Amino acid sequence: MNQGPTEREGESAEPLRYLSKLEAVAIETELLKDYRFGKQQLIEIWGHACAIAIVKAFPLSSLGKRQPTVLVVCGPGQNGCIGLVCARHLRIFEYAPTIFYPKRSSDSLNQDLMVQCERMDIPSLSYLPTEVQLLNDAYNLVVDAVLGPEADPAELGEPHAGILLTLKQVKIPIASLDMPSGWEVEGDNADGINPEVLISLIAPKKCAVGFSGKHYLAGRFLPFDIQRKYELNLPEYSGTDCLVEL
Amino acid sequence: MNQGPTEREGESAEPLRYLSKLEAVAIETELLKDYRFGKQQLIEIWGHACAIAIVKAFPLSSLGKRQPTVLVVCGPGQNGCIGLVCARHLRIFEYAPTIFYPKRSSDSLNQDLMVQCERMDIPSLSYLPTEVQLLNDAYNLVVDAVLGPEADPAELGEPHAGILLTLKQVKIPIASLDMPSGWEVEGDNADGINPEVLISLIAPKKCAVGFSGKHYLAGRFLPFDIQRKYELNLPEYSGTDCLVEL
């Protein structure tokens, strides 16, 4: 069972696995319950890795606007928390993130992550302009941290349904965290938002099979046993990199 | 007050600050209380950065033994927790860490971090051989995660006093996390352990002023306001690197 540590592990010539919604939820539950990872710990790992992916996809030197502005749109759940951590690390990487986080959870983890951003002078918008030209003019890109695979887009209420409508119209690039918000994990998403960059966490979801933009797998911490159990066939990371382009 | 994000921040021609014990404790308290960082979050950031520093100082290809073995010696407090996270990431980077963690805290954070290691098949020693030749033969290096700056070496009891005696005699290199265990933050440490590598967190401590080994500063997340308030004059990190060699 236990392979020697000098062999490469979790690596295979088999094709990369794309996760169903049930599988994505099952893996995360296993990490939290059996491996006793903390939510705070996972969200920090993921948010940090997402920020590095964004730097890779949109280096400071490539940004067209005078200021390295980034709008980070955060949803009410875990995807939004990852967005908050991502914004904080983008600030450390000398970007100028602005947060839009309209429906704030009363959960202490969400609140703590928001305080960290506020104390680091990251501004937040009180509302999202519906005039998309304002967004196109003000920001170099949008980070979509609205909904993750655990969310049900069919049950999406306001303000998030309106936010997705706005994101469908913006002309600046969108980078989606884990999956494009509003997409069904296993459905037809021709009518959804259209990100240029997708940063998959744990493993890509089924909806990403035909994704034609830049696609990263980020967050390198997944126990080898889980990789094997779910036959993820993850690609090999280079050196100590925490992400790999798919 | 708030510098524009296009200017480089937290950077200066002033000399790097070496922290007193009081300053090190004050900064961490401020991160936890005012910035609302979680302990789990900070320990994950630090342990991950320490693992990357160890990979940089001791690349897999440089190791003399047949297996990429590393002994990670963890103390009872926060330094030990950072060691557990470091061991886990070393495993992900395809090293073969073994943990020695003789005095386990009943704190749930410590326990969770240990379960993460156990579930990732990282073995742990039930006792540390006093015959140092056994250690020299079995491991490529020792990671010293016994005591951090908050500890008082004068009050050190068993088994840690004995562990430090053993570490003084080993011939394989030692990499110390945050500061060499058993050293006084501000004292004379000529009689202490003699690490080849030191991985300072937040900022180096006063005891590291004359350190002649390889010295890294690791963990890139410190709010710019804290860097300014304590006049840390941290060096510039490259790209998205989470460490810099001093």
pLDDT one-digit tens code per residue, A30-70? 999 999 999 999 999 999 999 999 999 999 999 999 999 99
- As given in the structure block, the two tokens for residue B196 are 């080849």
Residues 6+ apart with CB under 8 A from B91: A5, B97, B117, B120, B121, B122
pLDDT reported for residue B7: 45
Q: What is the mean pLDDT of each run of 10 residues along chain B (246 residues)?
A: 45 83 96 97 98 98 96 96 98 98 93 97 94 97 96 86 95 98 89 95 96 96 96 95 96
Residues B111, A36: C-beta atoms closer than 8 Å? yes
Say how far apart CA B42 and CA B219 lie, in whole Å.
9
**Cα-trace Rg, chain B:** 17
| pTM of the complete model beyond 0.90 | yes
pLDDT one-digit tens code per residue, A101-151? 999 988 999 999 999 999 999 999 999 998 999 999 999 999 999 999 988
pLDDT reported for residue A191: 85
Cross-chain CB nearest to A115 (options B35, B52, B109)? B35
Sequence length of chain B is 246
Alpha-carbon gap: B192 to the closest alpha carbon of chain A (Å): 32
Residue type, B205: K
Are B91 and B164 within 8 A, CB to CB? no
- Residue of chain A nearest B98, judged by CA positions: A5
pLDDT reported for residue A5: 44
Identify the band that residue A9 occupies on the pLDDT scale cut at 50, 70 and 90.
low
Between the alpha carbon of residue A154 and those of residues A151, A180, A183, A187, B238, the distances in Å are 9, 14, 10, 11, 44
Q: Note which residues in 27-56 of chain A have CB less than 8 A from chain B.
A: 34-38, 40-41, 44-45, 48, 51-52, 55-56
Percent above pLDDT 70 for chain A: 95
Please tell me if residue A115 touches chain B, with a CB cutoff of 8 Å: yes
pLDDT one-digit tens code per residue, B162-173? 999 999 999 999
Are B103 and B160 within 8 A, CB to CB? yes
Say how far apart CA B52 and CA A241 lie, in whole Å.
9
**pLDDT higher than threshold 80 for residue A3:** no
Mean pLDDT of chain A: 93
Identify the band that residue A188 occupies on the pLDDT scale cut at 50, 70 and 90.
confident
> DSSP readout, chain A?
----TTS--S--SSPPP-B-HHHHHHHHHHHHHTS---HHHHHHHHHHHHHHHHHHHS-GGG--SSS-EEEEEE-SSHHHHHHHHHHHHHHHTT-EEEEE--S----HHHHHHHHHHHHTT--EESS--S-HHHHHHH-SEEEEES--TTS-GGG--TTHHHHHHHHHH--S-EEEESS-TT--TTS--TTS---SEEEEESS-BGGGTT--SEEEEE-----HHHHHHTT--PPPPPTT-SEEE-
Alpha-carbon gap: B225 to the closest alpha carbon of chain A (Å): 7
pLDDT reported for residue B5: 44
pLDDT reported for residue B14: 87
**pLDDT higher than threshold 80 for residue A4:** no
DSSP-based three-state secondary structure for B62: helix
Cross-chain CB nearest to B240 (options A5, A93, A111)? A93
Contact residues on chain A for B86, CB-CB shorter than 8 A: none
Residue A139 exposed, middle or buried by CB count within 10 Å (0-12, 13-18, 19+): buried
Please tell me if residue B239 touches chain A, with a CB cutoff of 8 Å: yes
Mean pLDDT of the A215-226 span: 96
Percent above pLDDT 90 for chain A: 86
Mean pLDDT of the A185-212 span: 93
Across B184-198, b (16+ Cβ under 10 Å) vs e yields bbbeebeebbbbbbb
Say how far apart CA B19 and CA B9 lie, in whole Å.
20
pLDDT reported for residue B9: 52
Beta strand extents in chain B (DSSP E only)? 69-74, 96-100, 141-145, 174-177, 197-201, 214-218, 243-245
Please tell me if residue A9 touches chain B, with a CB cutoff of 8 Å: yes
